[in-house]
Amino acid sequence: MKNMNRRQFLRTSAAALSLSTLPRAQQKGPKAKRVGLIGCGWYGKTDLFRLLQIAPDTTPVEVVSLCDVDRRMLAEAVELVTNRQDSKKKPRSFNDYRAMLAEKDLDIVLIATPDHWHCLPMIAAVKAGADVYCQKPISVDVIEGQAMLAAARKYNSVVQVGTQRRSTPHLIEARDQVIREGKLGKVGLVEIYCYYHMRNESNPPDTAPPDYLDYEMWTGPAPMRPYNPLIHPRGWRAFMEYGNGIVGDMCVHMFDMTRWMLELAWPKRISSSGGILVQRASKANITDTQLATFEYDDLKIVWEHRTWGDAPDPKYPWGATFYGDKGTLKASVYSYDFNPSAKGERPIHQDVVYELDQYPEDKTEKDLEKHCAPAIRYHMKDFMAAVASRRRPVADIEQGYISTACCILSNIAMSLGRTLRWDPQGQCVMSDDEANRMLRRDYRSPWIHPTADTV
């Protein structure tokens, strides 16, 4: 009997060992979620590779489709993804997201295009039955955001927005151990800011677009302007035709983080001022200096960016400072610092955790923001958990809509030179027809601007 038990044990152990040596994709288990990526540039690959990293701990995934209007960028992404996923299967490649989504065989779609291309693919993806991870800001105008929210709810899709400060481990700690424990006391002012020199200062001549880029499709619903080397790749944020400047790029992160930490919804009033005050020789048409104030009942959130000069605190060139009557909290992607007002109380400091030992591929991945990688992984874990349970994720599309719309409204307020009062029930600016007309940008033909009623 003992020998029989031993033989049985050896057979079972051998079978288990054999199974363990198979690639994960060949092992029996939950069915892999079929994934597609629209926009195969810098952050598209960053997001996708973080999803591949966390998949073994959540739900297995198989990247089956990649889409980009840049044929060279697309080919590079196909090669990289083939090597990174366990199955080593080569994804299909598409130059038009409509063709990719027409297959209707994707469970998850990641969208990491320039901002002016977030809305239409996101709505098309949820109509095709997919759950979506969409980069921030969700839209270039407010009406787009309303349509995206309506589509997500109509088609019962889980939509996570790439405002990953909500999933940054050290910032979750700051919220839980400083703000929620009352260490700040009453918070009356939050300053949010960015002093990175991120506005392009050059003025190269316009040229013909490269032959590997479908510039007509790249432009899509945005105004057609002559191609310029600044635009692609990664330089398009220099132009208001494709986004909302540094407010739409950087303010949206810190404003969203502040709302999440303090459990805030819509502000009552929004004002802004600024312009191109210093860097006037550049071809870029976004502001180099801007202030925006988001007013709540007994709290003001004030944004400032400068793409020139020095940061007031070199340790916090992009971040938020929460002022309470019991202390001050500074928070950024790199760290947080709590300094109490009362003598004898201990300050708290925490740095970002890089997780390079757990994920050694982060050390060599091209252009990866290593300090952001853990936050994206946790954001992806939350997204996949929401997909499995059908709950709303931590950065649900509604939260992305609020944060995005408020940033867009600040630009409208700056353009009009007056304070805007927002009606969260009517989803419009109160008593200001001119401002309400600016909630919707014109689309270039033949693209049709969606609304909440037409999705």
Whether the Cβ atoms of residue 261 and residue 254 lie closer than 8 Å to each other: no
- Please write the tens of the pLDDT for every residue from 195-225: 999 999 999 999 999 999 999 999 999 999 9
Whether the Cβ atoms of residue 67 and residue 38 lie closer than 8 Å to each other: yes
- Please write the tens of the pLDDT for every residue from 15-57: 444 444 444 444 567 899 999 999 999 999 999 999 999 999 9
Which phi and psi (to 5°) does residue 26 adopt? -95, -10
- Please write the tens of the pLDDT for every residue from 280-297: 999 999 999 999 999 999
Q: Where are the domains of the chain?
A: 32-164, 166-370+397-437
Whether the Cβ atoms of residue 329 and residue 216 lie closer than 8 Å to each other: no
- Please write the tens of the pLDDT for every residue from 55-114: 999 999 999 999 999 999 999 999 999 999 999 999 999 999 999 999 999 999 999 999
Classify burial at 131, counting beta carbons within 10 Å of its beta carbon; exposed 0-12, middle 13-18, buried 19 or more: buried
Nearest to 55 by CA among 377, 392, 395: 377
Q: Could you tell me the two tokens for 95?
A: 């130059």
Decide if domain 32-164 falls under CATH 3.40.50.300.
no
- Checking if the pLDDT of 415 tops 70, the result is yes
Q: How many CB atoms lie within 10 A of CB 187?
A: 21
DSSP letters, 41-99, are SHHHHHHHHHHHHHGGGS--EEEEEEE-SBHHHHHHHHHHHHHHSTT-PPPEEES-HHH
Q: What pLDDT shows up at residue 28?
A: 63
- Checking if the pLDDT of 311 tops 90, the result is yes
- Checking if the pLDDT of 428 tops 90, the result is yes
Q: Which amino acid is at 59?
A: T
* Torsional sign, CA 105, 111, 113, 117: positive
Q: What pLDDT shows up at residue 25?
A: 43
Q: What pLDDT shows up at residue 198?
A: 97
d(CA 442, CA 45): 30
Fold of 166-370+397-437: Dihydrodipicolinate Reductase; domain 2 (3.30.360)
In the chain, pLDDT over 90 holds for what percent of residues? 93
Q: In a 3-state reduction of DSSP, which class is residue 403?
A: helix
In the chain, pLDDT over 70 holds for what percent of residues? 94
Mean pLDDT of 254-270: 98
Q: What pLDDT shows up at residue 356?
A: 97
Nearest to 79 by CA among 352, 271, 366, 276: 366
Average pLDDT over the chain, rounded to an integer: 94
Q: Give the model's confidence band at 179: pLDDT under 50 very low, under 70 low, under 90 confident, else very high.
A: very high
Q: What pLDDT shows up at residue 30?
A: 82
Mean pLDDT of 182-202: 98
- Checking if the pLDDT of 326 tops 60, the result is yes
- Checking if the pLDDT of 452 tops 90, the result is yes
**Before 233, cis peptide (omega within 30)?**
yes
Nearest to 329 by CA among 252, 320, 342, 257: 320
Sheet-wide strand order for 318-324: 348-351, 335-340, 327-332, 318-324, 187-194, 299-306, 289-296, 269-275, 420-423, 428-429
Q: What pLDDT shows up at residue 217?
A: 98
Classify burial at 80, counting beta carbons within 10 Å of its beta carbon; exposed 0-12, middle 13-18, buried 19 or more: middle
pTM for this predicted structure: 0.93
Q: In a 3-state reduction of DSSP, which class is residue 410?
A: helix
- Checking if the pLDDT of 446 tops 80, the result is yes
Q: What pLDDT shows up at residue 324?
A: 98
Q: In a 3-state reduction of DSSP, which class is residue 256?
A: helix
Q: What pLDDT shows up at residue 169?
A: 98
